[in-house]
Chain A
Amino acid sequence: MKIDDVVCPFCGCLCDDLVVEVEGTRVVSVENGCTLANEKFMGDHRLKTPIHREGKGWKETTYDEAIRETAEILCDADRPLLYGWSGTHGEAQSIGIHLAEILGALVDNTSTVCHGPSILAIQEVGHPGCTLGQVKNRADVVIYWGTNPIDAHPRHMSRYTTFADGFFLKEAFRDRKLIVVDVRKSESANIADEFVRIQPGGDYAVLSALRAIVQGKRGIIPPSVAGVSREQLFRVADLLLSAKFGAIFFGLGLTMSRGKSKNIRNAIELTEELNRHTKFIISPMRGHWNVYGSNEVFTWITGYPYAVDFARGIAFYNPGETTSVDVLSRKECDACLVVASDPGAHFPKACAEHLARIPTVQIDPHVNATTHLSRIQIPVAVTGIDAEGTAYRMDGVPIRTRMLFRGTYPSDTAVLEQLYAIVKEIKGP
């Protein structure tokens, strides 16, 4: 059976035009997908049943037992952390937050190790953005800064920017200028009209120089800024100022390099400055397919996009204190539930070591680095393949992922609902 307009649950592009062929409970082919999508749909290395540790080894267990054991671990803990959420649908995220509420737990999503600094900058100065179709239909200048879409978001250029013809740009590839800013010549830089190579750690200075030029202060620019020549800075600034509609996309190269949230603030303020002359927008290249959804769901329930601590009864937010990496490195947590992410692979070593010391439970379809740190793993259906639910694209557009076949695994929602019910019973009214 071929299914049209399938939504890809891999990256923040959330492409929704895949054609997937299914035989029984197996995907046999994927059309329109990038290599990442193909691997996501076709790769099948799922854990078969829930497992938990007994002695030095793993032992298979039942869903009921694994969920009951998880509930007891969480209820016994003084400082539980519920982490992850970016790889599941919004309905499951919502239950997770309410679970944290009754546990008085910390709840955090993967923004903590990706665009957390971007969120901090947005909370300082705001975010001039738009949906990706605005860029596709209008943008005549596009900048990728600290991001390599050809590798990390393979269809971003073909669906939304460089290769995407739009209403006001009938021949996008010719009519649209592409600027790539990076510390190395990436695949994306190879096709740029202008490649700006910055010395590592020099983003803030280059952004400041561009802001000064846009403000009409060319005279104060030194011959070279962080390895970028004054001539090139002038050339780039002129390109920006001549745009009818410009779009800046930035990645972790800007967010997680020296300067962090201040880099993003500077980039947003450059965007704001450009809006006094023409139309400009800026947007983070979000990684997980539903990391933005986790920010949205967290926000409407708790008021904050990530790093929420319910220990005081109210929702308390203080990144740097209530962010997972900080809490784990202080060895503060005494239990952790990981849902739909892989902190074992992405967190600093000290945090991973602490996760291995405390009872950590993982709800995830696949065996991954976190499995090795965990006491229990509960496999679930993969949202977008054998489960469905809401996802938010990197620009905030909500799309419902599809269930392609009914498999034997329960969804994240089903497992979390059962867990929530048991915890509620233990905790009482």
Chain B
Amino acid sequence: MSEFLIRNAYVIDPLSGIKGEIMDIAIRNGRIAEEVGSNAEVIDADHCLTLPGGIDSHSHVCGTKVNFGRYMSPEDMRAGRTARKGVMHVTSGYSVPTTFGNSYRYSVMGYTTVLEGAMAPLEARHTHEEFTATPHQDMLANTLFDGNWSIMEAVREKDMKRAAAVVAWTLSAVKGFAIKLTNPGGTEAWGWGEDVHSIQDQVPHFGVTPAEIIQTMIRANELLNLPHSVHLHCNALGVPGNYRTTLDTIDLVPDLNDKRQSLYLTHLQFHSYGGSTWKDISSKSEDIARAVNNKPAVAIDMGQIMFGRTTTMTADGPMEFKLYMLHHNKWSNHDVELETGSGIIPVYYSRKSLVNCVMWAIGIELALLVKDPWRCMLSTDNPNGAPFVKYPEIIALLMSRRFRENEIALLDPRTAHYVPLPAIDRELDWYDIAVMTRAGQAKALGITGIGKGYLAPGAEADIAIYPLKPESLDPSAEYQQVMAGFGKTRYTIKRGRVVARDGDVVVEGANSTIWTRSTVPPGYDLSVDPEFMKKFEQYYTVRMSNYPVQDVYLPRGICIPTEASL
């Protein structure tokens, strides 16, 4: 029996209603306990900021396209490399680090749970292999359904229950966590080199629209009683004027769940552009934030960009090709039969680019203008907007108006004409940041039930202790310290074990993969559905029996079972 006692912690635990109190935290056998015995090992937190372990609800760290980002980019691998040290393996990479690189860097920043934003079902086994090699975070996989033929056929037949059955079979087969739609309909159109441009465009050959796919999937998700909502990457990402598509999408969303949002809109910065060309692109963050504020049924993450080099990677194949036509760097594309697509290009976000300056401002504006931090997660859509190691800098920007002013002074001077940021005074506080980096994610993902995102007795003992003393630190003025503090915990504790200390990972990891399985009535079990099986064997290039991910790929899997209401 392992016992720990963290003393004198400055605790912010939003889900438990603790907003900054000096208290002790007892840990027994990997969980938070009421109390521990006198032999427990003691950690003196010395009034340092102590939070539940960080949760990233949208990041690209494992799987086919992430690995291809590494494969095609030796220049990025060279840009961040460390030698073997203690229990730490060799790491390579800056924007797309190797799996151990991702895992160590997240752990040092206090992150203990990460959701991979896009897993193609056909290639799920790959994602799970990399999860196992990302040992310090519990992992979850958003599973792509944006171009799924069986889904689109069900949508066309207006058969919501059939769509739910497809989701149930697929998530269970590939050990996925939630429904991800990336440019719904657009990835199928990209199979012909085309795209959809609004939520009312027809998907070629399938006779459905993105709006119909989104609406059907939101409802199918609730029929399955899944922990998370549909997780949507809207259509028309990165296109000037796309804020209208985003507003139209928000308009579609019904309020179907009293515990969390009914739709999670990811990396919304990329979807909040006004103007009509790259020359007159402007921020529409105010319109978007107003729509979000008025619609409690949606939650968002920022998708902040930060200046410097990174690698963009998404299932949104057509978008990556458009981006390639702008950057002319190098381009990879990988369409996945019957399911989805993907693309990768490296980019450099520059302060000398007005477009990039506007994008930078929009992300911050969204975080400041959305009133409820529970519905606005901090993210960069790692690594699309920036690698996640930039999170501390983003936190500092959100907490300090002075820091923002200093940064704005470095931008293209025309920026102020296109964005409202200079006029926004709001400075987020420690509580807001705690919500936006862990508690909000736990709620939005629906994983509080398995003990994630809080520190009350019974919760998983995933804890981050930062070298920051909120009682004496003024984040508005001392933003450099905020940045440094969030970059390196004093202690990161995962399931009751100290895994990182002062910047070094100190033990071999043993993470879990969290997935969902919905039990459906017999008539909806597609594993024995003759029509589904026939189409599978006709059009896929793997046999149906070889498709499901075997249990051996999840050595410590945690299944969240649900009962479908079909």
- Residues of A in contact with B (beta carbons under 8 Å apart): 4-5, 7, 16-17, 90, 94, 98, 101-102, 119, 122-134, 136-138, 159-160, 166-168, 244-245, 272, 275, 278-279, 281, 295-296, 299-305, 310, 312-315, 317, 390, 392, 396-400, 429
Contacts and interface: CB of A to CB of B under 8 A. Distances in A.
B72 A123 contact: yes
Interface string B119-137: 0001101100110010000
Given A313-B84, A397-B123, A296 B67 contact: yes
Given A4-B545, A303-B98, A313-B83, A126 B77 contact: no
Given A128-B333, A130-B334, A138-B191, A400 B539 contact: no
B543 interface: yes
A137 B68 CA distance: 24
B332 interface: yes
A5 B546 contact: yes
A101 B84 contact: yes
15 contacts: A129-B332, A130-B335, A130-B336, A131-B334, A133-B337, A133-B540, A134-B335, A168-B205, A244-B192, A275-B193, A295-B71, A301-B89, A303-B93, A397-B123, A398-B125
A300 B125 contact: no
Given A245-B193, A300-B130, A392-B126, 11 more contacts: A16-B542, A98-B89, A129-B334, A132-B337, A133-B122, A134-B337, A136-B541, A137-B338, A245-B192, A299-B71, A396-B126
Nearest to B69: A299
Given A101-B90, A126-B332, A302-B98, A131 B539 contact: no
Contacts, number: 176
Contact of A122 (B71, B125, B321): B71
B122 to A, nearest CB: 6
A128 B331 contact: yes
B490 interface: no
Nearest to B75: A123
Enumerate the 5 nearest inter-chain pairs by beta-carbon distance, A residue then B residue, closest first. Answer: A133-B337, A303-B92, A313-B83, A303-B77, A279-B193
Q: By DSSP majority rule, is chain A's interface helix, strand, loop, or mixed?
A: mixed
B99 interface: yes
B82 interface: yes
A317 B129 contact: no
B74 interface: yes
Interface of B: 62, 64, 67-68, 70-74, 77, 81-84, 86, 89-93, 97-100, 122-123, 125-126, 129-130, 133, 149, 190-193, 205, 321, 330-338, 344-345, 538-543, 545-546, 550
A167 B539 contact: yes
A159 B337 CA distance: 14
B335 A124 contact: no
Contact of B129 (A90, A126, A134, A245): A90
A128 B317 CA distance: 10
Given A137-B539, A300-B67, A315 B77 contact: yes
Contacts of B72: 122-123, 126-127
Nearest to A159: B541
Contact of B192 (A138, A160, A400): A138
Nearest to A391: B125
Nearest to B64: A396
B541 A304 contact: no
Which of A275, A295, A314, A397: most chain B Cβ within 10 A? A397
A17 B543 CA distance: 7
Contacts of B83: 312-314
A300 B98 contact: yes
Contacts of B123: 131, 396-398
Contact of A101 (B68, B70, B89): B89
A125 B330 contact: yes
Contacts of B73: 123
A305 B77 CA distance: 11
A122 B332 contact: yes
A127 B332 contact: yes
A299 B338 CA distance: 27
Contacts of A124: 330
A108 to B, nearest CB: 15
A314 B90 contact: yes
A400 B125 contact: yes
A296 B345 CA distance: 19
A224 B563 CA distance: 68
Contact of A300 (B82, B133, B550): B133
A148 to B, nearest CB: 21
Which of A119, A130, A399: most chain B Cβ within 10 A? A130
B334 A304 contact: no
Contacts of A245: 191-193
Which of A5, A101, A133: most chain B Cβ within 10 A? A133
B77 A317 contact: yes
A317 B74 contact: yes
A305 B541 contact: no
A281 B126 CA distance: 22
Contacts of A98: 89
Nearest to B546: A16
A224 to B, nearest CB: 32
Contact of B321 (A90, A160, A275, A304): A275
Nearest to A4: B545
B550 to A, nearest CB: 6
Nearest to B537: A17
B92 A314 contact: yes
Contacts of A167: 149, 538-539
Contacts of A295: 71
Given A131-B541, A132-B337, A315 B191 contact: no
B335 A302 contact: no
B337 A137 contact: yes
Contacts of B67: 296, 299-300
B71 A131 contact: no
Given A128-B332, A397-B542, A305 B71 contact: yes
Given A102-B84, A396-B64, A133 B100 contact: no
Contacts of A17: 543
Nearest to A318: B74
A127 B335 CA distance: 12
B191 A279 contact: yes
Contacts of B70: 299-300, 303-304
